[in-house]
């Protein structure tokens, strides 16, 4: 594995289209310094997910460049690059198997103790320990026996265990009960501590706490700043 990344991310004059002649991102430039929390906000279809897709190198740019720690992302081996970027999506991929195995998916060589430690840090331990079979609870049907919030907590635990250098968080839009929501926020705060993180933000609180907010509108970055500045 490559050494840890610091997590400086820069987009320089990035232009991108999924289909030729239909520009989706237009001249996007910004800098995220190592450890910063960046909130991406903007209406549906504005291009937030596309920015993340490009950072993960799922597509080639039309022009411009994206750098991590001063080095173009096209100079990194793609598997290593993705290994260093942790993703917590709204709908977590869970497989048939125990909760322990599902968290361990973040780092396959982790011991049981390390999995439980990660779950504690992620604030997932509280709900798991109340399940009759605790960490041996079997997950069925991509997690349909768990609530959306609980599935998110497992995704956070998995990401804690993976210990990636850059994080991508797609904040849930669905309603989650208050207690679980508090756990999720605490888990996410611990997870993002000291790591550059990009949050597709839906909650005002997240936006208020971000070091920088990127406001995207129809593929353009129309404003950058902190909550008080904007
Ligand atoms: P949302 O908040 O709804 O997730 P978003 O801001 O993340 O929206 P994107 O998903 O980045 O927006 O989409 C930006 C534009 O790119 C939209 O017009 C969308 O239709 C288009 N788009 C997204 N993915 C593709 C694709 N694979 N092929 C073609 N067009 C796409």
Tens of pLDDT, residue by residue over 31-47, are: 999 999 999 999 999 99
Mean pLDDT within 75-96: 90
The percent of residues above 70 in pLDDT, for the chain, comes to 99
Atom of ligand 1 nearest to the CA of 51: 11
In this prediction, residue 205 has a pLDDT band, given cuts at 50, 70 and 90, of confident
User: What pLDDT score does 90 carry?
Assistant: 82
Confidence check: pLDDT of 1 > 60? no
Tell whether ligand 1 has an atom less than 6 A from the beta carbon of residue 24.
Answer: yes
The answer to whether 224 touches 214, Cβ cutoff 8 Å, is yes
Atom of ligand 1 nearest to the CA of 219: 14
Tens of pLDDT, residue by residue over 47-58, are: 999 999 999 999
User: What pLDDT score does 206 carry?
Assistant: 85
Confidence check: pLDDT of 2 > 60? no
User: What pLDDT score does 213 carry?
Assistant: 96
Atom of ligand 1 nearest to the CA of 46: 6
User: What pLDDT score does 60 carry?
Assistant: 96
Mean pLDDT within 14-36: 96
Tell whether ligand 1 has an atom less than 6 A from the beta carbon of residue 45.
Answer: yes
ipTM above 0.95, yes or no: yes
Out of 21, 26, 50, 171, give the residue to mutate to test ligand 1, the one with the largest number of ligand atoms within 8 Å of its CB. Answer: 50
Tell whether ligand 1 has an atom less than 6 A from the beta carbon of residue 7.
Answer: no
pTM here is: 0.90
Separation between Cα atoms, residue 68 and residue 164, nearest integer Å: 14
Tens of pLDDT, residue by residue over 132-180, are: 999 999 998 888 889 989 999 999 999 999 999 999 999 877 778 899 9
SS3 sequence, the chain? CCCCCCCCEEEEEEEEECCCCCEEEEEEEEEECCCCEEEEECCCCCCHHHHHHHHCCCCCCCEEEEEECCEEHHHCCHHHHHHCEEEECCCCCCCCEEHHHHHHCCCCCCCHHHHHHHHHHCCCHHHHHCCCCHHHCEECHHHCCCCHHHHHHHHHHHHHHHCCCEEEEECCCCCCCHHHHHHHHHHHHHHHCCCEEEEECCCHHHHHHCCEEEEEECCEEEEEECCCCC
Q: Which residue has the higher pLDDT, 176 or 2?
A: 176
User: What pLDDT score does 58 carry?
Assistant: 95
Token digits for 57? 């190198």
């Amino acid at each position: 594995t490559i050494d840890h990344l610091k997590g400086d991310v820069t987009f320089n004059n990035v232009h991108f289209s999924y289909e030729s002649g239909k520009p989706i991102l237009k001249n996007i430039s910004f800098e995220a310094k190592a450890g910063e929390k960046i909130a991406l906000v903007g209406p549906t279809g504005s291009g937030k997910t596309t920015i993340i897709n490009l950072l993960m190198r799922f597509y080639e740019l039309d022009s411009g460049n994206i750098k991590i720690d001063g080095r173009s992302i096209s100079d990194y081996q793609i598997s290593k690059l993705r290994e260093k970027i942790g993703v917590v999506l709204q709908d977590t991929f869970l497989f048939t198997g125990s909760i322990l195995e599902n968290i361990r998916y973040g780092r396959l060589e982790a011991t049981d103790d390390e999995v439980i430690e990660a779950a504690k840090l992620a604030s997932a331990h509280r709900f798991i320990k109340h399940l009759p079979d605790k960490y041996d609870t079997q997950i069925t049907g991509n997690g349909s026996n768990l609530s959306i919030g609980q599935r998110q907590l497992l995704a956070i635990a998995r990401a804690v265990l993976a210990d990636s250098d850059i994080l991508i968080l797609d904040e849930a839009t669905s309603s989650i009960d208050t207690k679980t929501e508090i756990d999720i926020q605490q888990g996410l705060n611990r997870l993002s501590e000291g790591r550059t993180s990009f949050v597709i933000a839906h909650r005002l609180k997240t936006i208020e706490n971000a070091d920088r907010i990127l406001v995207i509108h129809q593929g353009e970055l129309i404003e950058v700043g902190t909550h008080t500045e904007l």
